[in-house]
Amino acid sequence: MEEIEVQQRYKFDISEELVLPEFYNQHKNNLPMLIVVSGGYYGQTKYDDMSTDQVMRFHCCHSVRRVLAREPTEASDIKLDYLSIPVNGDYLYQLVKTRTQKSEPMTMSEILEKRELPVLIQFSTDKIVPDEGKNRDGSQASFLIIATYEEDFIQGNYLLNGTHS
């Protein structure tokens, strides 16, 4: 087998600076790629933070189909205004027909195939109900699914002292 020596030169050009959504649109099919963060960002969690001058290796992109749900009424006792739910998640849901009448448990994908939005749901009690699916008193909360959307992710690692972490 013949050995081939491969050498790639990396260059940093400040004129190619992009905000992350533009980077995603231009380079999502050109990964993996080394990048330098030119403007840091403090995210909602420590996992969303990026330091200025941080070197990263972006590996690949993912897209997840999700639904956006909200409290069905102004008087609701749910702890949050909106909830983003992955369509292909592990939870089961029930359509809320009346206060006492609900459908059989089904996946979010099945709900979207069978019903047009908006649609009223609850997490099914056939599996563990997450805290977000409960009212403050622990009772089942109802959600009105109002939209579907795609959420895009870039998977990568930081480079520290010549190795990725």
How much is the pLDDT for 75?
54
The mean pLDDT of the chain is 85
More confident residue, 163 or 147: 147
The residues, any chain, with a CB within 8 Å of residue 151's CB and separated by 6 or more, are 63, 64, 66, 84
Confidence of residue 74 (pLDDT cuts 50, 70, 90): low
**Mean pLDDT confidence for 120-125:** 94
Residue 78 has pLDDT above 60, yes or no: no
Asked whether residue 146 carries a pLDDT value surpassing 50, the answer given is yes
Handedness of CA 80, 85, 89, 93 (dihedral sign): positive
pLDDT for res 6:
47
Give mean pLDDT, residues 61-83: 80
In the three-class reduction of DSSP (H, G, I as helix; E, B as strand; rest coil), residue 55 is classed as strand
Say what the pLDDT of residue 111 is: 98
pLDDT score recorded for residue 12: 66
- Mean pLDDT within 142-146: 95
Residue 134: pLDDT band with limits 50, 70, 90: confident
User: What distance in Å separates the CA atoms of residue 119 and residue 143, rounded to the nearest whole number?
Assistant: 8
Q: Above 70 in pLDDT, residue 151?
A: yes
Return d(Cα 149, Cα 64) in angstroms, integer: 8
